[in-house]
Chain A
Amino acid sequence: MTTASQTEKTSFLKKLFNRPEKEYADPYLGGILLGLVLFASLFITGSGLGASGGYSRYVAFIEDLVAPGHIDQVPYLIHIAGGELNPLDNWIVMVTTGVLLGGFVSGLLHGRAKVELVKGPNISNTTRLVMAFIGGIIFTFGARMARGCTSGQALSGGAVLSAGSWAIAFAIFGSAYALAYFVRKLWL
């Protein structure tokens, strides 16, 4: 992130980005804070948290730029971006934008915002990147099928006791546990 030529700015950025890396919070404490955020969201707005809905709208926005007429032929996207609708004019886009900002600020403050590739010890960088990309495709495909991901369904739907959300939460963890052994080389 830093370039050597810009001296003044660099030293500031260096200070900003080279903070000593701090440890993550205790998981129970993190969970309580996350629960308070979720409660605040439901209490004030009636909506829970979400992430994959933001993905849909970013994609619809890009499609609208690249192939404007095409959206009107995709039944699944018409209701979010058909005709004159602006797919980004929606609360969930605000939430996901906030997630990016909040994650960035926290990473910065705790010295954890730095360019790196996180992977298991026994795979190459390329394998990790390819698997992350494929995992991303599969995950959001499943999230669209289930009408929500770990945030919108498992977390938010779970907290308000939706039966379907609990079924989805168990399906996610069940399938990940069942497959974990066979792909252990990726992580162990």
Chain B
Amino acid sequence: MAKQDVYIDPMNTAFARAMELSTYAGLAVMIVFGILYLLGFSGFVDMKQAIANWHLPVSEFWKEVKGIEIHGYSWFLSHLTSMDALSMVGVCILSLAPLLGLVAALFRSGGQKAFTIFYIILIIEFAFAILKPIILPGVGGH
């Protein structure tokens, strides 16, 4: 068999394409706004305060630096004029990339029922991972 005879299942290629595009988008957003933040553009977290407190466990850190308790995503989604919050949006796009890949693979899994079920389970699990901090903020936390 020659190189061109390698068969790649369409599920694989759909997964790869969707994940690749969202990875590029996520990296660009995270790095561009992250660098602007490091260059001194407006940030939600003051860098000097962060450095003074980043030895603390995460819950104490936020109490000291911003006087808040963090559960969920509002801590950065409600401050989208700040460069570090926008950089966090990039992290979220990166963290969504495999989910988008799974959705793309699901639409190409016709005729392979077991994989349709696997992808649906994975998408539900992924959605739960994203929504858990909002719908069950105390579970598993402190």
Q: Do A and B bind each other?
A: no
